[in-house]
Amino acid sequence: MLDTTRTSRSIDDGIQAAGADMKVLVKDAQALLTAAASLTGVKADELRTRGMELLDRAMGKASQYQGQAVIKSKELAETADVYVKDNPWRTVAAAASVGLLVGIYLGRK
């Protein structure tokens, strides 16, 4: 049977972790920009370098989370495919029910 609850939870956890990581990186970048505004010369160059490193790290994490999301979506699609093949009549009934509800909803407008 399709275990969407566990998969959904793991995807939600990944999204929350990604959001938290991005918030930390943005706060660090903001702090660096604030500090760089009052500095010139070597210190400003160092802060710019650190800021670029933070942005590179953020891009790396975004790529990592994107890759994980693609893998999870493929796994979920495969699980749904197996479920549909194992339970064709349930799938037809569910699709017909959804179609009927959408038809009723659109018919009222």
The set of residues, in sequence order, having a beta carbon less than 8 Å from that of 53 and lying 6+ positions away, is none
Q: Alpha-carbon distance 38 to 85, whole Å?
A: 64
Where along the chain do its domains lie? 4-108
Percent of the chain with pLDDT over 90: 18
Does this model's pTM top 0.75? My answer is no
Q: Alpha-carbon distance 63 to 50, whole Å?
A: 20
pLDDT category at 51 given cuts 50, 70, 90 is confident
pLDDT in tens, 4-32: 566 566 666 767 777 777 777 777 777 77
Average pLDDT over residues 60-71: 81
pLDDT at position 3 is 56
Average pLDDT over residues 37-54: 75
